A and B are shown apart, each in its own frame.
Chain A
Amino acid sequence: AQSVTQLGSHVSVSEGALVLLRCNYSSSVPPYLFWYVQYPNQGLQLLLKYTTGATLVKGINGFEAEFKKSETSFHLTKPSAHMSDAAEYFCAVSEKGFSGGYNKLIFGAGTRLAVHP
């Protein structure tokens, strides 16, 4: 079974600084990778996903992530943090689930991002 490891349950950055949230997954072929964001007391919203093609994926709100197969990583970055980025971020990987497709999501434990002035 797949597993997802998010390094660092809490990350704190200054406003305007680089955001780097780490995600590593257990090896599987092929991996389908996702980042979701959760604001307090709300559901999850998709930031970006990797399925095939270009390994650098751009998402909403200025976030991007790079799939590195050799490192089994899918780290999330944003060049300049904004106060509104404070939230919890979840990395997820698809494993084989329904009707032969890779469409069952396995989530990491989450990383809470704090942004201070």
Chain B
Amino acid sequence: DGGITQSPKYLFRKEGQNVTLSCEQNLNHDAMYWYRQDPGQGLRLIYYSQIVNDFQKGDIAEGYSVSREKKESFPLTVTSAQKNPTAFYLCASSIGPRQGVSGNTIYFGEGSWLTVV
């Protein structure tokens, strides 16, 4: 079945440690996204990528890094510079982007919980 796979589902980070969340999609989508979800705040965009080897900062990119070496994969690294990383992280993808095309549906993975210990 086509979809977006995130792993691990639960991850614990020690102070000063970098951790990486995996995201793989087999939907043949060009665009991929990472969102952070905190209770009562909805979803906030961390990074997005329109195409392989290209990515852009979202609204809350500080303390995070990404790579897009393959179309199917968009891993997110939470670095030690992120002072409050405990949250639910959602990876997503969509077709496009194509010039002027709007309203594409964004599809989400099942999410990963990151907790600082």
Contact = CB atoms under 8 A, between A and B. Distances in A.
Interface stretch (B14-22, B39-47, B72-80): B39-47
Contacts of B6: 43
Given A41-B111, A98-B31, A99-B98, A90 B103 contact: no
A46 B105 contact: yes
Interface of B: 4, 6, 31, 40-45, 48, 50, 90, 92, 94, 96-111
B38 to A, nearest CB: 10
Interface string A48-65: 010110000000000000
A109 B96 CA distance: 26
Contacts of B41: 109
Contact of A108 (B42, B90, B106): B42
Chain A interface size, as a band, is: 20 to 34
B102 A103 contact: yes
Contacts of B94: 103
Contact of A46 (B90, B101, B107): B107
Nearest to B49: A98
B50 A107 contact: no
B43 A90 contact: yes
Contacts of A110: 40, 42
Interface string A82-117: 000000001000100111111111011110000000
Given A90-B43, A108-B42, A99 B99 contact: yes
